[in-house]
Structure 1
Amino acid sequence: MRVLLFCRYDGSNYFGFQIQPNHITVQEVIEKSLKKIHKGNDVKIHMSGRTDSGVHAYIQPIHFDTYLNINESGWVDSVNAYLPKDVRILGAKIVDDNFHVRFNSLAKTYEYRLCISKNVDPFLANYVGHFPYNFDYNKAEECLNLFLGTHDFTSFCSKNSSIENKIRTITNFTIKKEGDIVIFEISGDGFLYNMVRIIIGTIINVANNKYPKEYIVDILKAKDRSLAGKRAEASGLFLKKVKYDNENINKFIDTLV
């Protein structure tokens, strides 16, 4: 039986989602919980995508195969019983054995929260990026359309990435302001390693008058990582939503976000 779980986590205390040697990760604590439920037998989970150290998720879909006959609400309660408080299972679905959280996904949505005040509220520090300098909101907003559509995002991908095909399509990119917090939301068919954080870092440069918005077009064409901005801090990034080729799953996710 294949089980699809929807996980929410605060990534502040974790070295990303995927298991890493000598570091605690979200995948590790979930698999430890499943191992206890399966009486000491190892259970491997599959994720919709990795998140880096310090990055959070509103909804991170994961799946695993099991021989246990537990209903959907039972999986939520059972897994949560052995998880730390900063990792929670919000819902569960029994799915076909051919369903895969990564290969069946159509799109992802990320949110980035940026504090533009001089000082950050200590209770927000782990959940926002921080830029305490001049930030022209209108100039930042004017950048968004330049990223829409299909582009080669080599300039906005970490050099450590092993992915050869760096062509991605951005379908939606919005910005809003709540007090001193600027909230970006970006959706696309997929994202490269550090892509969202580099895009935000580049927009910050435009908003800080380091270069005009038109330079973003040149950065895209150049396919040169050194031309784009620095990565924005991991603390402000949230995986918000994953869209699938299954409307029932999508509707269920909408109830959780």
Structure 2
Amino acid sequence: MRNIKMTIEYDGGRYLGWQRLGDSDKTIQGKIENILSVMTGTKIEIIGSGRTDAGAHAKGQVANFKTTSNMDLAEMQDYLIRYLPRDIVVKELEEVPERFHARYHAAAKKYSYHVWNAAVPSAFGYHYSYLYPGHLDVDRMNEACSKLVGTHDFIGFSSLKKSKKSTVRTINEITIQREGNLLHFAFVGEGFLYNMVRIMMGTILEIGAGTMEPDYIDAIFESGIRSDAGMTVPSQGLFLDEVYYKSSEMR
């Protein structure tokens, strides 16, 4: 039995997210599984590093699947490029140890969020950024980001109703870069709760706009109440950029 690791790029604009939903063919996972099953002649189920929301994108989603097919990796990639929709691309295939699991062995992930900060929208950025026309104070936003970095209970920054599992997560780094009217926010962490990046982003933007103070971050950690945090920003500005694995899991 072979275990194949895939690195996948996709435009999530017309899909209902990563995770397969019953018989729906409107998910990234469902599309890829259907093509792999036809390619190998057996039913294939893939394991993703994690879910992405409806409308969100990926530059470096990782998944793995197991197969008895003898097709070489170059042939597999050619087949996938030929038959997958053009907005889903398998960028790389790699044969990995049988124990490798794309989700359980992920050590960290990098997400980015893009904000078009101008009064006039961008026709080209409409599907890949969030339009925020008001003034944003980058110093205030950096102060907010510094409070989010570290190990905290992020339940107040999540859409989870209740969870029996731990909601403590570690954020290693948050950076902000401006490129003209476009603001790039990058989040690197060991794991993220449901809607966590989008809610952190909404909170950071409200702090940048002056409608919320940076110290509110501490209050949200203290209360753990979702309504204390900022808005959930739209999904079209969100990208899963990269998934990190320990080298020992790849041998």
What interval of TM-score do these two structures reach, taking the shorter chain for normalisation? over 0.9
Unaligned runs of 5+ in 1: 250-257
* Contact 2:156/2:228 (<8 A) preserved: yes
Identity of aligned residues (%): 34
The alignment status of 1:56 with 2:57, answered yes or no, reads: yes
* Contact 1:15/1:23 (<8 A) preserved: no
Please name the residue that 1:115 is paired with.
Answer: 116
* Contact 2:100/2:249 (<8 A) preserved: no
User: By how many angstroms is 1:137 displaced?
Assistant: 2.0
Please name the residue that 1:66 is paired with.
Answer: 67
| Equivalent position SS for 1:127 | coil
| Equivalent position SS for 2:212 | coil
- Pairing of 1:131-146 with structure 2 (within 5 A): 131-146=132-147
Q: Which moved more, 1:132-141 or 1:201-210?
A: 132-141
Please name the residue that 2:160 is paired with.
Answer: 159
The alignment status of 1:30 with 2:32, answered yes or no, reads: yes
User: By how many angstroms is 1:248 displaced?
Assistant: 8.9
- Pairing of 1:1-257 with structure 2 (within 5 A): 1-21=2-22, 22=24, 24-39=26-41, 41-160=42-161, 162=163, 164-246=165-247
In 2, Cα distance between equivalents of 1:138 and 1:180: 16
* Contact 1:130/1:233 (<8 A) preserved: no
User: By how many angstroms is 1:229 displaced?
Assistant: 0.5
* Contact 2:32/2:84 (<8 A) preserved: yes
Deviations along 1:133-161, whole A, 9 cap, x unmatched? 22222211221110111000010010346
* Contact 2:105/2:249 (<8 A) preserved: no
| Equivalent position SS for 1:197 | helix
In 2, Cα distance between equivalents of 1:125 and 1:101: 31
Unaligned runs of 5+ in 2: none
Task: State the aligned residue count.
Answer: 249
**1:9–1:247 Cα change, 3 Å:** farther
In 1, Cα distance between equivalents of 2:97 and 2:220: 43
User: By how many angstroms is 1:57 displaced?
Assistant: 0.4
In 1, Cα distance between equivalents of 2:29 and 2:68: 20
* Contact 1:80/1:88 (<8 A) preserved: yes
| Equivalent position SS for 1:35 | helix
